[in-house]
């Protein structure tokens, strides 16, 4: 077989198809078929010259901390590296790097979810017991990305491959969800019953968990920012501006400001009026709400009385100056006010 040195436009056009196929598998909320999961793990261990491990199923990542064992040893297998070498021998390096970069994107969201879950647990326990920062040798949590890549190489580029080894990898990726492995013990976590994203593929839900498991473990997120339950379980339109006065975390304050909106913040925190110009008012919130003082340009529609507020730099001295800043340096007399 000749070395593949260039992708045709038709082949390039199929990259998103395979990325979405394996992304759907990575983010599946279907209940794990435990018989298939056990069979796939045992097959993968056998191909890595490892004995059948003890396999434990858990309902959510929080159950990891209750697992007991005597000795934790890193597995020695390198099935992913073996398969990679088989495909790399058939594809020119720059083309391999090109499709790898594009198709490995399928795992980014999956890994972000994993990392988010790790940090939402007692992270030191997970790190100590499962060496999640080690990324050594036998790493099934990366096999979704490899499966996506190899699937494209076989189906689109017609690469030759060792079927038994590839099937073992793809079965673990497809049937096992979140999985943690050692030489003698495998922990398989049931898939979440719900995963929710915004239109930029960031974990997101309003007034409910972004991720939820069968045992009730929930994970709240607002446009990719992890929220404590006290905020996450409430719709953003019901968030209170006064929370900003006691919230010490700067990122959470930013999220609260985004969700509440400056118009409500102006009203609820009694912003100080500094200057007026026609329908515009320059305001300052004198509380310790953010890292730097909050200056706002409030605009009131003369016909509907609707209030809109935009944040402006704290060095603004007048409403006219703030209007000019908002409109990219154009003096207010040079444009017609439209509300």
Residues 187 and 271 in one domain: no
- Residue 127, H or E segment: helix 123-130
Within a domain: residue 228?
no
Residues 180 and 34 in one domain: yes
Q: Packing angle between helix 105-120 and helix 123-130, nearest 10 degrees?
A: 120
Give the per-residue pLDDT at 67. Answer: 72
Strand partners, 227: 220
Within a domain: residue 313?
yes
Express each pLDDT in 223-236 by its tens digit: 988 899 999 999 99
Domain endpoint, select from 163, 191, 219: 191
Domain endpoint, select from 151, 171, 191: 191
Residues 17 and 157 in one domain: yes
- Quote the strand ranges of the chain, DSSP E: 54-58, 178-181, 185-189, 194-195, 211-212, 218-222, 225-227, 272-277, 280-285, 294-300, 307-312
Within a domain: residue 47?
yes
Within a domain: residue 239?
no
Residues 57 and 187 in one domain: yes
Residues 81 and 179 in one domain: yes
What is the average pLDDT value for the chain, to the nearest integer?
81
Residues 320 and 175 in one domain: no
Nearest to 120 by CA among 192, 201, 61: 61
Express each pLDDT in 234-279 by its tens digit: 999 999 988 887 787 878 988 998 898 877 887 788 788 899 888 8
What are the angstrom distances between the C-alpha of 11 and each of 8, 72, 157? 5, 44, 8
Residues 295-304 have a mean pLDDT of 78
Residues 159 and 306 in one domain: no
Residues 283 and 161 in one domain: no
Kindly write down the DSSP assignment for every residue of 24-73, as one continuous string. HHHT--SPP-HHHHHHHHHHHHHHTT-PPPEEEEESSGGGGGG---S---
Give the per-residue pLDDT at 91. Answer: 92
Within a domain: residue 249?
no
Cβ(300)–Cβ(281) under 8 Å? yes
Residues 265 and 187 in one domain: no
Express each pLDDT in 32-62 by its tens digit: 999 999 999 999 889 888 889 899 999 987 7
- Locate all alpha helices (DSSP H) within 143-261, ordered by sequence: 143-155, 163-175, 229-232, 243-246, 250-260
Domain endpoint, select from 166, 191, 216: 191
Within a domain: residue 202?
no
What percent of the chain clears pLDDT 90, i.e. is strictly above it? 31
Residues 265 and 146 in one domain: no
State how beta strands 218-222 and 225-227 pair: antiparallel
Nearest to 316 by CA among 335, 292, 338: 292
Output the six-digit token pair for 123: 């992270």
Output the six-digit token pair for 265: 């913040």
In this prediction, residue 338 has a pLDDT band, given cuts at 50, 70 and 90, of: very low
C-beta neighbour count of 48 within 10 angstroms: 19
Within a domain: residue 120?
yes
Within a domain: residue 215?
no
Residues 169 and 314 in one domain: no
Instruction: State how many domains the chain has.
Output: 2
Say yes or no to pLDDT of 123 above 50: no
Residues 51 and 172 in one domain: yes
> What's the domain range around 90?
9-191
């Amino acid at each position: 077989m000749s070395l593949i040195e260039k992708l045709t436009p038709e082949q390039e056009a199929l990259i998103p198809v395979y990325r979405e196929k394996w992304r759907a598998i990575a983010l599946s909320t279907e209940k794990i078929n435990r018989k298939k999961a056990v069979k796939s793990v045992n097959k993968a261990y056998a191909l890595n010259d490892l004995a059948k491990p003890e396999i434990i199923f858990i309902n959510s990542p929080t159950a990891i901390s209750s697992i007991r064992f005597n000795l934790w040893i890193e597995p020695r297998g390198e099935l992913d590296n073996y398969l990679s070498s088989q495909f790399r021998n058939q594809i020119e390096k720059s083309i391999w790097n090109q499709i790898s970069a594009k198709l490995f994107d399928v795992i980014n969201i999956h890994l972000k979810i994993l990392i988010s879950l790790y940090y939402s647990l007692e992270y030191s326990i997970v790190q100590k017991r499962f060496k999640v920062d080690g990324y050594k040798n036998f790493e099934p949590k990366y096999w979704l990305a490899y499966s996506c890549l190899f699937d494209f190489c076989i189906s689109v580029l017609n690469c030759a491959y060792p079927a038994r080894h590839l099937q073992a990898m793809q079965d673990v990726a497809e049937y096992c969800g979140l999985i943690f492995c050692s030489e003698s013990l495998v922990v398989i976590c049931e898939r979440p019953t719900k995963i929710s994203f915004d239109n930029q593929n960031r974990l997101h839900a309003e007034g409910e968990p972004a991720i939820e498991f069968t045992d009730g473990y929930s994970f709240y997120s607002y446009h990719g920012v992890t929220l404590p339950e006290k905020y996450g379980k409430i719709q953003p339109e019901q968030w209170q501006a006064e929370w900003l006065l006691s919230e010490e975390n700067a990122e959470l304050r930013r999220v609260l400001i985004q969700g509440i909106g400056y118009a409500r913040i102006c009203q609820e925190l009694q912003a100080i009026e500094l200057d007026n110009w026609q329908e515009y008012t320059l305001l300052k919130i004198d509380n310790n709400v953010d890292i730097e003082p909050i200056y706002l340009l409030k605009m009131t529609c003369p016909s509907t009385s609707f209030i809109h507020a935009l944040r402006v730099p704290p060095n603004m001295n007048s409403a006219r100056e703030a209007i000019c800043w908002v409109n990219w340096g154009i003096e207010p007399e040079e444009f017609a006010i439209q509300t």
